[in-house]
Amino acid sequence: MNVSQKIISLRGELREHNYNYYVLDQPTISDYEFDMKLKELQDLEKAHPEFHDPTSPTLRVGGTITKTFDTIVHEHRMYSLDNSYSKEDLQDWEKRIQRILGDVPVAFVCELKYDGASISLTYEEGKLLRAVTRGDGFQGDDVTTNVKTIKSIPLQLKGDFPPKFDIRGEIILTLEGFAQMNQERIENGEEPYMNPRNTASGSLKLQDSTLVAKRPLDCLLYSVVGATGIQTQFEMLEKAREWGFKVPTVAKLCKSTDEVLQFVEYWDVHRHDLPYETDGVVVKVNGLQQQDELGNTAKSPRWAMAYKFKAEQTSTVLREITYQVGRTGAITPVANLEPVLLAGTTVKRASLHNADQIAKLDVRVGDTVFVEKGGEIIPKIIAVDFTKRNPDSRPTEYITHCPECGTALIRKEGEAQHFCPNDTGCPPQITGRIQHFISRKAMDIEGLGSETVELLFKEGLIANYADLYTLTEAQVIPLERMAEKSAENLVKGIEASKAIPFERVLFALGIRYVGETVAKKLARSFKNIDALMQATEEALIRVDEIGGRIAESVVQFFAVESNRELVERLKHHGLQFSLSEEQLSNQSDKLQGQTFVVSGVFATLSRNELKKLIEDNGGKVASSVSSKTSYLIAGENMGPSKRTKAEGLGVPIVSEQTFLQMLTE
């Protein structure tokens, strides 16, 4: 055997042993023998760098330092999951699904919801190409070198895998591995880590991959995207297992929501026997064709639902209620608690929502309260332990004036929240608006963070977001923690934001109720800021999905002299206040007033491209056929119920080609 053959054979052997040990949990050789073989391979590779292979098992030990993690845009968005907490929630979900799919059988797959850090792995020709964190769902961080050290993730696949696909999973620390890590830390005189989930997710961002390699991280996979030929979720899990991934076998195929509920009940109790933490069950529609037909909402797939296990509870003493002022002036009461350990983290604060909530709970300073932690970061107070109430305690009186600026608070008819109306003079409102303006989804100004905004405001350098554009390096350098380089980056970042497209500038302005999606819709229909500023409420309501509340808010915003002045100043600085040539040329009003339903699989366009084309040309996309539907665009394998319904209502059914012709006519 020559050197190259020896290297290849050792790699193959070690790969198999890794698989047996970390995926199957059934090692066939001793750790010592494994280490000897690994050492032999390391030595050979070192002596013969010409045989380098990015999937070699020797890479599992790490050794790379990553200074900054590159941002990668996900080819397929990573969605969240909707949550349900009861049998009724689940049955409502099933009804919604059946309404869209029609009267056809629907099967479900139940999986556990592993509590860790989500990851998307890209494989090409069977080799791990890239690993990216979920990030905001659209883009995440490239953590490939760190992920390569996780032994249960195959660097090279086995069997009959597709040429290119992404696979999603959850990177976790087992409870045992976590306890061991903490034991070592305590022995070294270090603080123990709080919980496995945060530690797993923090591990992915360590700069030294050798440290990552030492952590007992594991990866459980649950979804393949972009591979063709698979028909069901259940089959997908089986396939992924065959290719060498660790896919838990607890997944169950269920024919009804009753069976789903049995699964939930069983695991609500038995999850404590699992080697890792779970926080619920994920229920998915089994048929991928049906999944496709159901599609996604803005945040999550319609074909999946998380069923949360009952959250953990504890009790503690309420020390004080403080009040936060948000960027819109909304007041949020916050409970400051006697620190208490809950579900692995120390809890010091809890949300109290609003005055009504405080009154309803009758919660008072000094009370012992029950605190619950669901999926959210801030836990909530669910009740007062009245048996422990001090007889001298007095009902909580809600504040009447803004804690930041002293202005009398107002509360509008029908609204739960109190507001500070001093929007031009209340400091957290001013800085909050600027912070929103610079945020990632708005102007995305690099080199400028929330704290710097507060500092700039405190120093009197900015009083609104338009002031950012007159900042100079000389003004910024003397500030605390600013150096020449950071000042330069800040000014550069601000300059670069002038190229941000109109729809995001519109979102950045911070008009109440104008979120990302609404901003896009408004930009698309009005095309430039002047048209939008002149629009009446009636004209605004005529835009699809713009309701009275949004229309009123837009008109009110531009009626304020100081807001118009801000827009003028931003315009003067060269920000984008109209759609670009390219955006304009891709748009028309050809489909104005028409509603389309898209169903099935298409030959030349993806469903999303088709939908975008409809919207860019002024049409509307709906998910189910009704009397308001103008056309049903039918692809291959279209749901039979949609066809029957369209035929019944006399809705014309057209092919992809016919639709494309309609656009060119």
Q: Which of 19, 69, 114, 307 binds ligand AMP (CB under 6 A)?
A: 114
DSSP 8-state symbol, 78:
-
Nearer to ligand AMP, 157 or 167 (CB): 167
Angle at which helices 257-270 and 87-101 cross, to 10°: 140
* 245 counts as binding ligand AMP under rule CB under 6 A: no
Shortest CB 659 distance to Zn ion, Å: 53
- For residue 435, the SS3 value is helix
> Nearer to Zn ion by C-beta: 44 or 463?
463
Within 398-427, which residues bind Zn ion (CB under 5 A)? Answer: 402, 404-405, 407, 420, 422, 426
Does 302 interact with ligand AMP (rule: CB under 6 A)? no
Residues in the interface with Zn ion (CB under 5 A) total 7
Q: Is 282 in the site for ligand AMP (CB under 6 A)?
A: yes
Angle at 280 between CA 275 and CA 281, to 5 degrees: 100
- Binder of residue 332, out of ligand AMP, Zn ion, none (CB less than 5 to 8 A by kind): none
Among Zn ion, ligand AMP, none, what binds residue 420 when CB lies within 5 to 8 Å by partner kind? Zn ion
Residues 230, 236 contacting (CB under 8 angstroms): yes
Binder among 56, 118, 144, 290 for ligand AMP (CB under 6 A): 118
Total count of residues recorded for the chain: 665
Token digits of residue 168: 């999603």
* For Zn ion, the closer CB: 5 or 400: 400
Residue 301: which of Zn ion, ligand AMP, none does it interact with, CB under 5 to 8 A by kind? none
**Member of 45, 94, 111, 615 binding ligand AMP (CB under 6 A):** 111
Rounded to the nearest whole angstrom, what is the least distance from the CB of residue 387 to ligand AMP in the complex? 35
List alpha helices for 117-192, DSSP H: 144-147, 175-187
Nearer to ligand AMP, 17 or 113 (CB): 113
The entry of ligand AMP, Zn ion, none near residue 543 (CB within 5 to 8 angstroms by kind) is none
134 binds, among ligand AMP, Zn ion, none (CB under 5 to 8 A by kind): ligand AMP
**For residues 348 and 345, what is the distance between their CA atoms, to the nearest angstrom?**
10
Q: How many residues bind ligand AMP (CB under 6 A)?
A: 12
The CB-of-327 to Zn ion minimum distance in angstroms stands at 11
For 118, half-sphere exposure in the C-beta direction (CA atoms, 13 angstrom radius) is 19
DSSP secondary structure letter of residue 400: S
Decide which of ligand AMP, Zn ion, none touches 405; Cβ closer than 5 to 8 Å per partner kind: Zn ion
Among 42, 55, 80, 655, binds ligand AMP (CB under 6 A): 80
**430 vs 522 by CB, closer to Zn ion:** 430
Q: Is position 113 annotated as part of the catalytic site?
A: yes
Binding mask 341-380 for ligand AMP (x = CB under 6 A): ----------------------------------x-----
Q: Which of residues 365-404 bind Zn ion (CB under 5 A)?
A: 402, 404
Rounded CA separation 454/461 (Å): 10
Query: According to the binding rule CB under 5 A, does residue 330 interact with Zn ion?
Result: no
DSSP 556-603: HHHHSHHHHHHHHHHHHTT---B--HHHHHT--STTTT-EEEEESB-S
Give the 3-state secondary structure of 1-35. Answer: CCHHHHHHHHHHHHHHHHHHHHHCCCCCCCHHHHH
Q: Which stretch binds ligand AMP (CB under 6 A): 106-114, 141-149, 183-191, 519-527?
A: 106-114
Q: Which of 37, 46, 67, 113 is catalytic?
A: 113
Can you give 328-364 as a three-state secondary structure string?
Answer: CCEEEEEEEEEEEEECCEEEEEEECCCHHHHHHHCCC
User: Between 365 and 405, whose beta carbon lies closer to Zn ion?
Assistant: 405
H-state helical runs in 19-159:
31-47, 87-101, 144-147
If the CB atoms of residues 240 and 426 are measured against Zn ion, the closer one turns out to be 426
Residue matched to tokens 């670069």: 496
Q: In the bound complex, what is the minimum distance in angstroms from residue 108's beta carbon to ligand AMP?
A: 13
Q: Which of 11, 15, 134, 645 binds ligand AMP (CB under 6 A)?
A: 134
Binding partner at 111 among Zn ion, ligand AMP, none, C-beta below 5 to 8 Å by kind:
ligand AMP
The 10 Å CB-count burial string (b at 16+, else e) for 344-361 is: beebeebbbbbbeebeeb
Q: What mask of x and - would describe binding to ligand AMP in positions 190 to 229, judged by CB under 6 A?
A: --------------------------------x-------
604, 610 contact by CB (below 8 A): no
Alpha carbon distance 645, 599 (integer Å): 13
Q: Smallest Cα–Cα separation from 420: which of 435, 400, 436, 437?
A: 400
**Does 308 engage in binding with ligand AMP (CB under 6 A)?**
no
Query: Toward ligand AMP, which CB reaches closer, 283 or 420?
Result: 283
Which of Zn ion, ligand AMP, none lies near 285, with the C-beta cut-off 5 to 8 A by kind? none
**Contacted entry of ligand AMP, Zn ion, none for residue 540, CB cut-off 5 to 8 Å set by kind:** none
Closest separation between CB of residue 59 and Zn ion, Å? 56
| Helix axes 3-18 and 31-47, enclosed angle (nearest 10) | 140
Q: Measuring CA to CA, how many Å separate 446 from each of 73, 116, 165, 413, 490?
A: 17, 29, 32, 40, 7
Would you say 62 and 208 are in contact if contact means Cβ atoms under 8 Å apart?
yes
Phi, psi (degrees; rounded to nearest 5) at 336: -100, 120
Instruction: Answer with the entry of Zn ion, ligand AMP, none that 422 interacts with (C-beta below 5 to 8 A by kind).
Output: Zn ion
CA torsion sign, 430 to 434 to 439 to 442?
positive
Give the count of alpha carbons within 13 A of 348, CB side only. 1
Q: How many C-beta atoms lie closer than 10 Å to residue 44's C-beta?
A: 17
Instruction: Give the residue with the Cβ less far from Zn ion, 408 or 531.
Output: 408
Residue 147-186 contact track with ligand AMP, rule CB under 6 A, x = bound: -----------------------x----------------
Write down the least CB distance from residue 134 to ligand AMP, Å: 6
Residue 509 CA to residue 558 CA, distance in Å, equals 11
Return phi, psi of residue 448, to 5°: -130, 120
Only segment of 110-118, 188-196, 325-333, 484-492 that touches ligand AMP (CB under 6 A): 110-118
Partner from Zn ion, ligand AMP, none contacting 218, C-beta within 5 to 8 A by type: none
Q: Least distance from C-beta 510 to ligand AMP, angstroms?
A: 26
* Binding site residues, ligand AMP, CB under 6 A: 80-81, 111, 113-114, 118, 134, 170, 222, 282, 306, 375
* Binding site residues, Zn ion, CB under 5 A: 402, 404-405, 407, 420, 422, 426
Task: Indicate which residues carry an active-site annotation.
Answer: 113
